[in-house]
């Protein structure tokens, strides 16, 4: 068992990393930079809109408005980059910004028209006008949590600079230290008051800054990222491309399996039938004929088995009896002991049933092959128009979506019907993968 001293030291070290670690200092740097950058953007955007609006009846006003919108887009790109580098906040590109940075096919007038009619540009303008009101919270959190926390903590060393000069009624001056409820904090043990307050401020500074950055992060995500319609279009484009690729891959797999497996066995069956006919015609020994018959029968049986596996990979026949029966069969055939719980009311559509079945099959296979699990659980429910499939295993954990993993393929398949897939898999397990599909 670790000693009290080692546990205390570990907690102090963890707190120090949380307060002065790389990520914490990056957030502090962002909190310091965000407000001045937002104020500059606010002033330039407001001036550009004011003069551009006043002169909008002239060509110069339209150009000034277009330049203001383009500047707001550039400011938004800079803010996205800073948020990504310093906060780890990934904000998707909103799309083609104002027709691009160069001259469009309609010439320079077409470029100006595209800038002025682009919703993305005006959303960036709105962001430039609103960010000072959210960035100020982060700046205040840095000042209160880190600057005042450091000054209070170092008060015993900085006390000579913390004195204020006070003029008396008799014309003399004398220094006055920090005061707390009328008591000057100029001697031991009164120094402990600002010292303790400083430590507390430094301890809560990361939490304070994180909450203070919440409105700013939300504003940047909403106004500098793609809107709901753009995100929906992107999702449809990605899922359509994935569906086309999956269909092409499935056709290639079917062709390969038929050519290398079933076709070869049927050719062998035909050859053996020809051999049997020749043996019978020639009056061969019964043992030779029976041997050829056994070989032909074996080829026919194997061809039937290959065809069944092929059809099962396209659409499992057991799904015709419903998702409950299909998952029951899947759990019984699994190499792991699987606990199955189902609560399905109205039967889902065939597409949803097929996706749910293949997701369960893939997740159970991953639990066996990669997670080295000893048990798994499958829970299927239908609530609020959603079919929710949850697969849990007690394996080694560490599963992530992306980097070419099998979960990426499942996510792409789920998204074809506007479904979602989430994975909670800390190192050491357990792994919980939740798939939600529209039930109707």
> Per-residue pLDDT tens for 113-171?
888 888 888 888 999 999 999 999 999 998 888 888 887 777 666 555 554 444 445 54
User: What's the CA gap between 437 and 439, in Å, rounded?
Assistant: 6
Q: Write down the pLDDT at residue 289.
A: 73
Contact 329, 336 (CB under 8 A): no
Tell me which of 289-303, 386-400, 413-427 is least confident: 289-303
More reliable by pLDDT, 188 or 429: 429
More reliable by pLDDT, 16 or 83: 83
User: What's the CA gap between 432 and 426, in Å, rounded?
Assistant: 9
Q: Is the pLDDT of residue 22 over 90?
A: no
Local confidence band at 432 (pLDDT 50, 70, 90 cut-offs): confident
Q: Write down the pLDDT at residue 303.
A: 72
User: What's the CA gap between 304 and 299, in Å, rounded?
Assistant: 9
pTM: 0.55
Q: Is the pLDDT of residue 98 over 50?
A: no
- Cα–Cα nearest to 325, from 353, 367, 351, 364: 353
pLDDT digits (tens, 9 = 90+) for 194-248: 677 777 888 888 888 889 999 999 999 888 887 766 666 666 666 666 666 666 6
Q: Write down the pLDDT at residue 357.
A: 85
pLDDT digits (tens, 9 = 90+) for 268-305: 777 777 777 777 777 777 777 777 777 877 777 777 77
Task: Outline where 225-262 has alpha helix (H).
Answer: 228-257
Q: Write down the pLDDT at residue 36.
A: 93
* Beta-bridge partner residues of 164: 176
Q: Is the pLDDT of residue 105 over 60?
A: no
pLDDT digits (tens, 9 = 90+) for 62-80: 889 888 999 999 999 999 9
- Cα–Cα nearest to 304, from 332, 272, 269, 276: 269
Q: Could you give the angle at the alpha carbon of 243 between the alpha carbons of 239 and 249, nearest 5°?
A: 140
Local confidence band at 44 (pLDDT 50, 70, 90 cut-offs): very high
Task: Outline where 83-176 has alpha helix (H).
Answer: 107-117, 119-142, 148-153, 155-158
User: What's the CA gap between 67 and 412, in Å, rounded?
Assistant: 40
Query: Which 3 state secondary structure label does DSSP give 64?
Result: helix
User: What's the CA gap between 130 and 199, in Å, rounded?
Assistant: 34
Local confidence band at 101 (pLDDT 50, 70, 90 cut-offs): very low
């Amino acid at each position: 068992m670790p000693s009290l001293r080692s546990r205390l030291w570990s907690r102090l070290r963890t707190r120090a990393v949380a307060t002065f670690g790389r990520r914490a200092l990056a957030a502090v740097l962002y909190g310091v930079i965000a407000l001045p950058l937002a104020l500059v953007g606010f002033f330039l955007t407001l001036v550009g809109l004011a003069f551009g609006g006043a002169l909008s009846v002239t060509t110069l006003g339209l150009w000034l408005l277009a330049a203001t919108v383009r500047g707001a887009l550039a400011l938004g790109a800079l803010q996205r980059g800073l948020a990504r580098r310093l906060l780890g906040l990934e904000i998707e590109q909103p799309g083609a910004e104002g027709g691009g940075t160069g001259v469009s096919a309609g010439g320079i007038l077409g470029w100006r028209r595209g800038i002025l009619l682009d919703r993305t540009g005006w959303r960036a303008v709105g962001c430039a006008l609103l960010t000072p009101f959210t960035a100020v919270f982060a700046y205040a959190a840095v000042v209160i949590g880190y600057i005042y926390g450091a000054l209070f903590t170092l008060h015993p060393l900085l006390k000579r600079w913390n004195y204020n000069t006070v003029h008396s009624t008799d014309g003399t001056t004398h220094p006055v230290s920090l005061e707390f409820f009328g008591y000057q904090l100029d001697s031991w043990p009164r120094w402990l008051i600002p010292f303790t307050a400083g430590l507390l401020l430094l301890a809560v500074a990361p939490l304070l800054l994180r909450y203070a950055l919440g409105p700013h992060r939300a504003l940047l995500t909403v106004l500098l990222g793609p809107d709901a319609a753009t995100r929906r279009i992107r999702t449809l484009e990605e899922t359509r491309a994935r569906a086309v690729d999956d269909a092409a891959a499935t056709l290639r797999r079917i062709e390969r399996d038929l050519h290398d497996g079933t076709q070869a066995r049927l050719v062998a069956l035909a050859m053996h039938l020809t051999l049997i006919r020749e043996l019978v015609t020639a009056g061969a020994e019964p043992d030779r004929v029976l041997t050829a018959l056994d070989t032909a029968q074996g080829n026919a049986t194997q061809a039937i088995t290959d065809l069944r596996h092929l059809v099962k990979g396209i659409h499992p026949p057991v799904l015709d009896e419903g998702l409950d029966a299909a998952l029951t069969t899947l759990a019984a055939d699994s190499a792991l002991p699987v606990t199955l719980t189902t609560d399905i009311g109205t039967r889902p559509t065939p597409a949803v049933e097929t996706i749910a079945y293949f997701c369960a099959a893939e997740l159970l296979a991953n639990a066996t092959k990669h997670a080295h699990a000893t048990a798994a659980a499958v829970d299927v429910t239908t609530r609020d128009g959603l079919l929710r499939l949850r697969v849990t295993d007690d394996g080694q954990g560490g599963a992530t979506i992306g980097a070419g993993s099998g979960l990426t393929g499942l996510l792409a398949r789920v998204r074809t019907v506007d479904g979602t897939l989430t994975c909670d898999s800390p190192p050491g397990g357990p792994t919980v993968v939740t798939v939600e599909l529209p039930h109707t």
